Amino acid sequence: MIDPQSVSPARGAPPPPDDEAPEPPALRRLRLLVSLLMAVLILGTITVSGALVMRLGMIGPGAAPEPAAGAGGAAAVAPPAMDPVAVAAEALALPEGERVVAVGRAGPELLLVTEDASGTERLRGYDAATGAARSVTRLERGPAGTD
């Protein structure tokens, strides 16, 4: 019977693996770099996904309101909660014949874009605490594509 250990390997065959051979330093650095890059990729993916979820309003303070049960069992969307300090004034005085087109807020001012019967738009600034008129700016719209 032939002892397999006494037979020499065939020509061109690779030598048997040596399990105790040390790993070359370049291979060790490459393995460490690949592991580090994989960790960075995973953290980056989590960060971008989290930012998208927050920006699209799926979680956090700007999340969509939960549907509330309406009449007849139909689901109705509850209105968003109002900020109690947003406008402390009880009334705002608008000129006769003007209607509000848009509403905004800039610091302590409440901003209203109004339009009169002739189509002229004005930006009106009011003190949010007292309701006193602060400023009026006439808005002019130019042709599209001009600055």
Q: Where are the domains of the chain?
A: 25-58, 83-147
Distance in angstroms (rounded) separating the CA atoms of residues 29 and 50: 32
Under the banding of pLDDT at 50, 70 and 90, the label for residue 18 is low
Distance in angstroms (rounded) separating the CA atoms of residues 35 and 29: 10
pTM score, whole prediction: 0.40
Distance in angstroms (rounded) separating the CA atoms of residues 124 and 100: 10
- The amino acid at 97: G
Strand-pair partners of 111: 104, 125
* Predicted pLDDT of residue 74: 47
Q: Above pLDDT 70, what percent of the chain?
A: 63
Residue indicated by tokens 């209607």:
99
